[in-house]
Structure 1
Amino acid sequence: MAKPWWQRFCMILGGVWLALLSGCSPVKVLNALTPEDTFARTAGIAYGSDPRQKLDVYVPRHAQAGAPVVVFFYGGSWNSGDRADYAFVGEALASRGIVAVLADYRLYPQVRYPSFLEDGAQAVAWTRAHIREFSGNPQRLYLMGHSSGAYNAAMLALDSSLLSAVGMSPKDLSGWIGLAGPYDFLPIENPDVRPVFFWPDSPPQSQPINHVSHGAPPALLIAATRDTLVNPTRNTGGLARKLREAGVPVQDLYYARPSHVTLVATLSRPLRRLAPVLDQVVAFIRHTPPQ
């Protein structure tokens, strides 16, 4: 007799925990448990001249032309991260018929604000120009990120000067998705983040909440209620409130079981029982009208 889902889930969690105890990193464990038969990946595409300015494209195995597209930015306090660590995100989106673009960007100490945002804008511009070659529809273009990557997505969607520099506009986006994002974090408390934003002279224009306007793209904001790294009430709740006041379509969701880190991990197959984050992301993309 097949075991009930909760027993299977506990077995998977137990396997992940044992792997972590053996010294494996969490993302390597999740990626090891990620199937590879749902997508075709083209890796290491350069969107700029710097070695960090590269991206991977995950195309659904049976993709039809005109699929929606998500450009994903990972977190890491703007001083760490690698797109290869988030293969489980690419697989999750591709398994639901979405073309996923996972982009690296330059990190501190190589660069500071706003250079990594300029990288993000270049990655988005590359995607818009080339994604038809990968069965994607540039008219159904979404941004998505986790933690500091959610900040990147927010800034690109809200600060029009960033996309304007690459010949685009936030109006070219159908929407954006933020997972556990910091959108209003001055004065900066995290010592790892302070030098990224020139603390103690961090510019107010570095904050997404200060760029909200009526014409901003629709947003889906998701947070963990027990997030101790990025305050969900101030950041997700505060930005959602300001977007609503500006007349921007926004949905904010909060889940009790994930943490700041495991919120993005719920996109992986082993941890989807923690919260229906992937289902909510897919529903948002399917029900948000094309640009």
Structure 2
Amino acid sequence: MLNSHFKSIQKAFLAKAELAKNRYKDFRYYDIPSYAINGLTPKKGYVLQQNIAFGLKARQRLDLYKSNKPHAKKPLIVFVYGGAWTHGDKSSYKFLGEAFAKEGFDVAIVNYHLAPEYIFPSYVDDISLALNYLQQNAEKLKISTENTMLMGHSAGAFNVMSLMYQAQAYHNFNQAHIKAIFGISGPYHFDYKGDPIAQDAFDQSIPYAEVMPYYFVDKNHVKHYLFLAANDLVVKDQNTLDMHQKLTEVGNHSEIIRIAKTGHKSIIGSVSSLFSRFFSTKSEILKRMNEVLDQS
């Protein structure tokens, strides 16, 4: 009788443990800062539309932060998060949506398919599909896409740069509406073969020179702002330096901005309204965005 009761308790415990495992399987220790920041982020200054479907698959969803502050140029930021292409979710970046929506920018934060189940170029395809959706449904969403700024952090910076520079060009969205790219701590030129962080996100049989956006840069009108964290121990500065050189070689605009007192993860967290007064990240981004808008 007692043994039967113990087995019943054990079974119930294992069932709950499995449920918890499934619920938190995507949780990582480095999510803790995002969860903490989001919990303290103000919920005013914007209207949030969550889980907007831009495709048929489960992860083809975006969150849209529509600013309550009027802006003559009605700019749109499309933000793509990092996570080594294997991890991440738009819900972890409420602080970023709020930080720029309060300044008059509408902000779309985009989910995409993750490795190892999906590898390059599937996650870039998702971002392209999201851009097409936003442009085709701008009137319904009550936004404008004519002054779009692409912004990506880490792997997300690779993704947005790859939208513009790939062997197979993306033509399903209007590139003329892309006014600027803000690449934050981005890996644009590296060999992923055997790389412990990135190897699962790429086909190891394909040489990196056939994938990296560095090799496909061509002349265009887009302003490029490449942000470096002064204490980045994850992505080497050479990625940014190489990309900047290639962009300028073809006559494109490119500017490198180094942010003091930040590391690979903290550089994106420093745009939060809670911390932006202690770091120059947000002010430097806004300065460039407003310059772009003044010229448009």
Provide TM-score, normalisation by structure 1.
0.85
Superposed CA deviations along residues 36-70 of structure 1, whole A, max 9, x for unmatched, are 11111000100001100000100112345751001
Q: Is the 8 A contact 2:225 2:255 kept in 1?
A: yes
Alignment correspondent of 1:3: none
Partner of 2:239, secondary structure, is: helix
TM-aligned CA distance change 1:160 to 1:133, over 3 Å: farther
Partner of 1:136, secondary structure, is: coil
Indicate the larger mover: 38-47 or 249-258.
249-258
Indicate the larger mover: 172-181 or 195-204.
195-204
Partner of 2:147, secondary structure, is: strand
Superposed CA deviations along residues 190-211 of structure 1, whole A, max 9, x for unmatched, are 3131121122534422101111
Superposed CA deviations along residues 75-122 of structure 1, whole A, max 9, x for unmatched, are 000010000000111111101100000010000122110011000100
1:210 aligns with 2:215: yes
TM-aligned CA distance change 1:207 to 1:169, over 3 Å: farther
Partner of 2:262, secondary structure, is: coil
Partner of 2:214, secondary structure, is: helix
1:35 aligns with 2:42: yes
Indicate the larger mover: 236-245 or 91-100.
236-245
Alignment correspondent of 1:6: none
Q: Is the 8 A contact 1:148 1:181 kept in 2?
A: yes
Alignment correspondent of 2:130: 123
Shift of 1:276: 1.5
TM-aligned CA distance change 1:97 to 1:187, over 3 Å: same
Cα distance in 1 for residues equivalent to 2:212 and 2:221: 15
Q: Is the 8 A contact 1:240 1:252 kept in 2?
A: yes
Cα distance in 1 for residues equivalent to 2:222 and 2:31: 39
Q: 2:160 aligns with which of 147, 153, 162?
A: 153
TM-aligned CA distance change 1:190 to 1:100, over 3 Å: same
TM-aligned CA distance change 1:250 to 1:211, over 3 Å: same
Alignment correspondent of 1:285: 289
TM-aligned CA distance change 1:38 to 1:197, over 3 Å: same
Unaligned runs of 5+ in 2: 1-28
Q: Is the 8 A contact 2:113 2:123 kept in 1?
A: yes
Partner of 1:288, secondary structure, is: helix
Alignment correspondent of 1:48: 55
Alignment correspondent of 1:221: 226
Alignment correspondent of 1:256: 260
TM-aligned CA distance change 1:123 to 1:204, over 3 Å: same
Matches within 5 A, 1:96-107: 96-107=103-114
TM-aligned CA distance change 1:32 to 1:246, over 3 Å: same
Cα distance in 2 for residues equivalent to 1:46 and 1:145: 20
Partner of 2:274, secondary structure, is: helix
Cα distance in 1 for residues equivalent to 2:266 and 2:194: 22
Q: Is the 8 A contact 2:120 2:201 kept in 1?
A: yes
Alignment correspondent of 1:235: 239
Alignment correspondent of 2:90: 83
RMSD of Structure 2 on Structure 1 (CA): 2.2
Cα distance in 2 for residues equivalent to 1:105 and 1:249: 28
Cα distance in 2 for residues equivalent to 1:202 and 1:81: 26
The percent of aligned pairs where both chains have the same amino acid is: 26
Cα distance in 2 for residues equivalent to 1:97 and 1:135: 14
Q: Is the 8 A contact 1:93 1:100 kept in 2?
A: yes
Larger Rg: 2
Alignment correspondent of 1:171: 176
Alignment correspondent of 2:151: 144
Q: How many residues align?
A: 267
Partner of 1:25, secondary structure, is: helix
Shift of 1:160: 7.5
Cα distance in 1 for residues equivalent to 2:88 and 2:53: 17
Indicate the larger mover: 205-214 or 271-280.
271-280
Q: 2:198 aligns with which of 189, 193, 202?
A: 193
Q: Is the 8 A contact 1:157 1:216 kept in 2?
A: no
Q: Is the 8 A contact 2:69 2:103 kept in 1?
A: no
Q: Is the 8 A contact 1:66 1:132 kept in 2?
A: no
Superposed CA deviations along residues 1-40 of structure 1, whole A, max 9, x for unmatched, are xxxxxxxxxxxxxxxxxxxxx9981101110121011111
Partner of 2:137, secondary structure, is: helix
Indicate the larger mover: 208-217 or 186-195.
186-195
